Structure 1
Amino acid sequence: MTVRPGLCSVTFRQLTPERIVELAAEARLEVIEWGGDVHVPPGDPERAAEVARSTADAGVDVCSYGSYFRAGAQEPITPILDSAQALGADRVRVWAGRVDSADASPEEYAGVVSRLRDAVDEAGDRGISLALEYHRGTVADNPDAVLRLLADVGRPGLSTYWQPTVGAADEVALAEFDALASRVSAVHVFSWWPLTERLPLRERGVLWQSLFTAAAALASPPRDALLEFVPDDDPDLLASEAAALRQWLADADATRAR
């Protein structure tokens, strides 16, 4: 299975969906994750269907819907699923609460688990899976916490995304991916260093080349590698960033085939 190169639409919040589709197609990216904060608002299936048509017309696929569902006790996921379904997305990215795993009380953690379990079941009724955002400020902020959460939710329809932890050295980031690899459905691809400074993707080429080589060797590698953010939010940089990503994925496939 080849990992598909793609783009998160949040990379260019300032642009219209129509322009994002053009840029993705020009950069030879295969898929887009549409964000629910600007481009495809939850509960507006008509807009989602318009964006789906624009994406398909450009020869690009919709891979997922990037939601901001936080698994709150009374937080509805139905409008999010309505938009995801209209997009034709079979995966929705979700967030696991609002506090770090180390700071969550037993009650807070249990609430997130319960709400995620119900949300996965509701999504599954529509043929949609959910995937955790791997991020600080949630109870899915490190490999041990993610694995615990996936086990406690106990649903096959829940996977996780992965991205480099802010400030982590290459070897630390690679070890974190390795711990989660069998449950990772998508990777957010960016090069930030030493903290959130946005560098050109090739500035952390060792990290990404190593990661994609490791991913290609998996029985079930991540389905998608999604570019997320570029230096200065500059659309003119997407083509070169996408070229780097596509080259690393091709090199990883070639290495596996030997």
Structure 2
Amino acid sequence: MLDHSEADGWNRGKEPDLKFSFCSTGLKEEPLENVLNLAEEIGLQGVELWAGHIRGFLDGGGSLSQLRTLLEQRRLHVPAISEYTCFSKGKQESASELRRIRTAAVWARELGCPRIRSFAGHRPSRSVLAEEWDAVVSGLTEAAKICRSEGVRLAVEIHNNTLADTAESLAALVRDIPAPGIELIYDGFNLFVDHLDPVPVLKRFFTDIGHVHFKDYHWNHEDWSRSEPVPIFQGDADHKTIFRTLLELGYGGFISFEYMGNTDQVVSNTKRSLAEIRHFAMEQQPERNG
């Protein structure tokens, strides 16, 4: 169970203590330093770093100490390191994924990052047999232990086409992984694409949620490739209700904007989303304090 008590900004009569970042997974073609510069220019407080960006920086001759300095110079935090692990593609691949988790956990410790992002499998929960479920649970359990050994946490993203795609599968996953277990990364849009209501899931699992992703689209359910990314309150997933619920529940961590596309699209959607959320939050304040 996570403690969200630090997020009580509304009770102090000011804007809630939320912080904003973006996912560098949407900017994979950009060098890491460019990504950090863009985050600073947009006015974000953090960057959720794709493991590939860190790996590329280190392979290019950089060090974790230098990366930490680059972040400090821009006053940027790293709320999560995003790995693409799922523990459902066989023993050999799972062993490789655990090695990557171990490396990412060391990076996280050195960068002051609290969590590593993972997926739970790569197929919908409704399609998974018991053997695959057990393999994913085993892999996540071991990955969580590795993270704890470095003083960080493993966070499973709520995502369609994984074992973390419905309220029922989430409950089973949290139950089956021994305490202190895993965190969850909440992404309401990933539920919306499966025609699920994101808000009940947020309320039910709030105490397990350590981090949040925001993105929105004009979504084409018949042909996902024809969907159009748009700023957070202009899409189909009703993020106003999601955001209002986060405030009501007392969330005060990071929200990472997770837009894909070319650099201009990612930057534009992030900027406009940030402006919309800040305006909406201030509109809600008198109502909540009154």
TM-score using structure 1 length = 0.86
Please list every run of 5 or more consecutive structure 2 residues that lacks an aligned counterpart in the other structure.
1-6, 8-16, 89-93, 221-226
Mark the CA change 1:181 to 1:62 in structure 2 (over 3 Å): closer, same or farther. same
The C-alpha deviation readout for 1:181-203, integer Å capped at 9, x for no partner, is 22221221111222442123231
- Judge conservation of contact 2:198–2:242 (CA < 8 Å) in 1: no
CA-CA distance at 1:168 after TM superposition? 5.5
In the alignment, which residue of structure 2 is the partner of 1:98? Answer: 122
Identity of aligned residues (%): 20
How do residues 158-169 of structure 1 correspond to structure 2 at under 5 angstroms?
158-163=182-187, 164=189, 165-167=191-193
Greater gyration radius:
2
- Judge conservation of contact 1:200–1:230 (CA < 8 Å) in 2: no
CA-CA distance at 1:20 after TM superposition? 1.8
How do residues 31-180 of structure 1 correspond to structure 2 at under 5 angstroms?
31-37=46-52, 39-41=53-55, 44=58, 47-71=63-87, 73-74=94-95, 75-76=97-98, 77-163=101-187, 164=189, 165-167=191-193, 172-180=197-205
In the alignment, which residue of structure 2 is the partner of 1:239? Answer: 271
Runs of 4+ with deviation above 6 angstroms: none
Structure 2 counterpart SS, 1:141: coil
CA-CA distance at 1:93 after TM superposition? 0.6
Match of 2:246 among 215, 225, 236: 215
CA RMSD of aligned residues (A): 2.7
Distance 1:13 1:198 in 2: 17
Distance 2:272 2:244 in 1: 20
Aligned length: 255
Distance 2:284 2:237 in 1: 13
Bigger Cα displacement from structure 2, 97-106 vs 46-55: 46-55
TM-score using structure 2 length = 0.77
Distance 1:109 1:253 in 2: 44
CA-CA distance at 1:240 after TM superposition? 2.5
The C-alpha deviation readout for 1:188-246, integer Å capped at 9, x for no partner, is 11112224421232313982222122111225x26211111166541551432322233
The C-alpha deviation readout for 1:73-117, integer Å capped at 9, x for no partner, is 423221222222233211111111222111111011111111211
Please list every run of 5 or more consecutive structure 1 residues that lacks an aligned counterpart in the other structure.
none
